[in-house]
Chains A and B, each alone.
Chain A
Amino acid sequence: EVHLVESGGGLVQPGGSLRLSCAASGFIFSNYWMNWVRQAPGKGLEWVASIRLTENERSYVDSVEGRFTISRDNAKGSLYLQMSNLRAEDTAVYYCARDGDSFFDSWGQGTLVTVSS
């Protein structure tokens, strides 16, 4: 069974940094593209970043480009999101999501990031 467990969320001041992690199990991690998707409080879903099978191919939503970095460690079965220069509008639950057949077939439980002074 596919299992994705996010961690690393918390309260951070504007301009601060945070690193999210996603531990994957139940599948061959290195065979799948991986993503971060976020959901602001009471709002809808927004794709944030994707990473292909290696770290050579990554992409980001415009609003986080230059501030967030997605990475992966295939040996550890882990996905990461390094977030810097955080803004209030980055406040959200961040989900790790696998790209199985045709996008986002499995999701973690999410980790809450709150950006506030």
Chain B
Amino acid sequence: SQTIHQWPATLVQPVGSPLSLECTVEGTSNPNLYWYRQAAGRGLQLLFYSVGIGQISSEVPQNLSASRPQDRQFILSSKKLLLSDSGFYLCAWSPRGNTIYFGEGSWLTVV
């Protein structure tokens, strides 16, 4: 069966520091991959999605970036965090044209 893992689960980072959140999917190949962010008490904002290795689509201009170095690996990065980057980050995967499934999420607090 397919599983998705995302880490770290929580982190507290100072303003201006870098960020790296990692996500891997097991038990499938060539999935669509997604990064979402959820501010407190709000819906999910799509940040990036990828339909293949090296193919990244960005939905919102920001100081975040994403990379897909391997088929089942998706990384969210920032060179310099802002206070407004705080939130709950969710990685998700989808078989082509089907339901999406979420990782456990990462709570980021920028101080």
Bind each other: no
- Chain B residues within 8 Å of A, Cβ to Cβ: none
